[in-house]
Amino acid sequence: MLVRVVSCLFLFFFNIAQMAQEDKEKTTALKDLLSRIDLDELMKKDEPPLTFPKTLEEFEYAFNDRGQLRHTKTGEAFVFNYREDLHRWNQKRYEALGEIITQYVYERLEEECNLTREILPVDATEDEPKSFIYLSEDALTNPDKLLVLIQGSGVVRAGQWARRLIINEDMDSGSQLPFIKRAIEGGGAQRGSEARQRGALEQGAGGDAAMPLLNRDEERGKVRKTGRKETVREEEEEEEEEEKEEDTKECRGGEREVRKEKWSAEMS
């Protein structure tokens, strides 16, 4: 009898121990499962494929004669929140459009401004990092003046001050085109710059060479600068966290754009 009781107790304890062990295993398995759930993946579950049009026409957008980006059917300005509750998808769509804008500006630089693309370094080998700049025909021969335009870093490419301004306002606000054209008319040689790899050219020369030219007329600038910043901030809220860095940069592009306007007023 005693033996039986002891064995019963033993079994009882054994069961408790086993349950505790199972619980622990379940918790571990659950933790493991949770750690493997990628929230990003989960969000992608109901997301349409990230395939976007490759041309402005397929996007059903075009620049009108005032340089504003408008829907070809509705005439509406660009809509960021194209699909409700699909932030990631909307952001990717915006980026896809941005890529097209970049190519569009390159074409304008070549066709409207007669600039030519030069690969740098000129003697780069196959596996060496390369970039390119745009040069006017007389950039290296005109002894008079040399104008170097350097865009910001991030997604902004040659010929652009701020992609956001090109998309939401117009080509003249966001691109360098009016400045390049005016510089050509003024007879000075000029050079648009593209530096895909962050290098001395992109980082240093921008502030030193361009800013003193653009940094005047403080009073008018302050008012305009404030207005522009607010616009940018509103749009920021619509976009994903990961784009914050880019926003800051484009914001800076906006400020530069303001300085540039001042400069343009002086030139005329």
Ligand X SMILES: *[C@@H]1O[C@H](CO)[C@@H](O)[C@H](O)[C@H]1NC(C)=O
With respect to ligand X, which residue has the nearer C-beta, 103 or 114? 114
CB of 175 to ligand X, least distance (A): 14
Does residue 184 bind ligand X (CB under 6 A)?
yes
CB of 180 to ligand X, least distance (A): 7
Short-list 218, 217, 195, CA closest to 206: 195
Write a three-state SS string for 186-246: CCCEEEEECCCCCCHHHHHHHHHHHHHHHCCCHHHHHHHHHHHHHHHHHHHCCCCHHHHHH
Query: Which residues, numbered 207-266, are part of the site for ligand X (CB under 6 A)?
Result: none
Query: Which residues, numbered 84-113, are part of the site for ligand X (CB under 6 A)?
Result: 113
**Residue, CB closest to ligand X:** 114
With respect to ligand X, which residue has the nearer C-beta, 101 or 113? 113
CB of 131 to ligand X, least distance (A): 24
CB of 189 to ligand X, least distance (A): 12
Does residue 150 bind ligand X (CB under 6 A)?
no
Does residue 181 bind ligand X (CB under 6 A)?
yes
| Helix, strand, coil percent values for the chain (each to nearest 5) | 55, 10, 35
CB of 181 to ligand X, least distance (A): 5
With respect to ligand X, which residue has the nearer C-beta, 133 or 184? 184
With respect to ligand X, which residue has the nearer C-beta, 130 or 181? 181
Residue type, 89: W
Count of residues binding ligand X (CB under 6 A)?
Answer: 4
Report yes or no: 214 and 264 within 8 Å, Cβ to Cβ: no
Residues interacting with ligand X, by CB under 6 A? 113-114, 181, 184
